[in-house]
Amino acid sequence: MAIALVPTGRAEIWVDAVREMTALHLTRRLVCAGVVIVGRRGEFDAVAERAVQQLVLDTMIVDYFVVGDLMRRLEPAIRSARRTISPTVRRELEGFTRREMPYCYLCGTDLTFDDAGPTSFTIDHVWPRAYGGDSEPENLLPACRSCNNRKGLTPSWSLYPVQALVAGFELEHSDIMEMPKEMRFAVQSRAAAAHAAATSVSLKEAFVNLGRPDLPTVIDISVSVDVFNLDFAAK
């Protein structure tokens, strides 16, 4: 007998994910180009604003009247993307981390200070700057150097290589241990986004509320494992 096609039952989730990926890529493109335009002018003046407006019109097929609405969202995103973390905010966050949250919010490891090793303290933009993330405390959390590097500029679970994750049946604990960090980030990022949407908190608060991360758990051991069959677990 031929092997039948087996629907995964994830059709709608994947359609939503592809829509999200498209929106994220477009956001990144507009923010990056906007940063270059404003950078050349040195400030967000009227000339830069007109050039960014033209960029929106050239990049997207949109009604001219929609451009104003887009600009109201894009302008703060471009401003945020140009800003880096100030020394004061950096000092405050290090103090907070040492006192109250001395672990990496992405992997749960204890952070080290005064060194530059893989577990050393760094500050991560929960929503990346490249997508308009703020360099203010509301968007910053302590992460180990290794996770911060691995996360890179990824803003959401759908942009991790989750499509590649199809594991076997009846996974062992050791299999979960070997899961690449990016896959764990994806599981966590999905959980945080869902929590933020359900409870109307910021993405940062959602990550904090989920607790110190542990290895993901398999929801249904009897079916093969993809990113949707993994649950976030807190320590």
Find the shortest distance in angstroms from Cβ 118 to Zn ion: 8
Nearest of 85, 148, 92 to residue 121 by alpha carbon: 148
Q: Which is nearer to Zn ion, 132 or 142 (CB)?
A: 142
Instruction: Please count the CA atoms within 13 angstroms of the CA of 172 that sit on its side-chain side.
Output: 3
CA distance linking residue 44 with residue 52, whole number of Å: 10
Find the shortest distance in angstroms from Cβ 185 to Zn ion: 9
Q: Which is nearer to Zn ion, 106 or 225 (CB)?
A: 106
Q: Which is nearer to Zn ion, 104 or 196 (CB)?
A: 104
Q: Which is nearer to Zn ion, 56 or 124 (CB)?
A: 124
At 203 the three-state DSSP class reads: helix
Cβ contact 34:55 at 8 Å: yes
Give kind and range of the element (H or E) at residue 95: helix 87-100
CA dihedral sign of residues 42, 44, 45, 47: positive
Q: Which is nearer to Zn ion, 121 or 127 (CB)?
A: 121
Find the shortest distance in angstroms from Cβ 201 to Zn ion: 22
Q: Which is nearer to Zn ion, 79 or 181 (CB)?
A: 181
Report which DSSP code applies to 62.
-
Find the shortest distance in angstroms from Cβ 161 to Zn ion: 18
Find the shortest distance in angstroms from Cβ 103 to Zn ion: 8
Residues that bind Zn ion (CB under 5 A): 104, 106-107, 144, 147
The C-alpha angle with vertex 115 and arms to 112 and 121, in degrees rounded to 5, equals 45
Q: How far is residue 169 from each of residues 9, 38, 221, measured CA to CA in Å? A: 17, 52, 7
Measure CA 138 to chain center: 14
Find the shortest distance in angstroms from Cβ 119 to Zn ion: 7
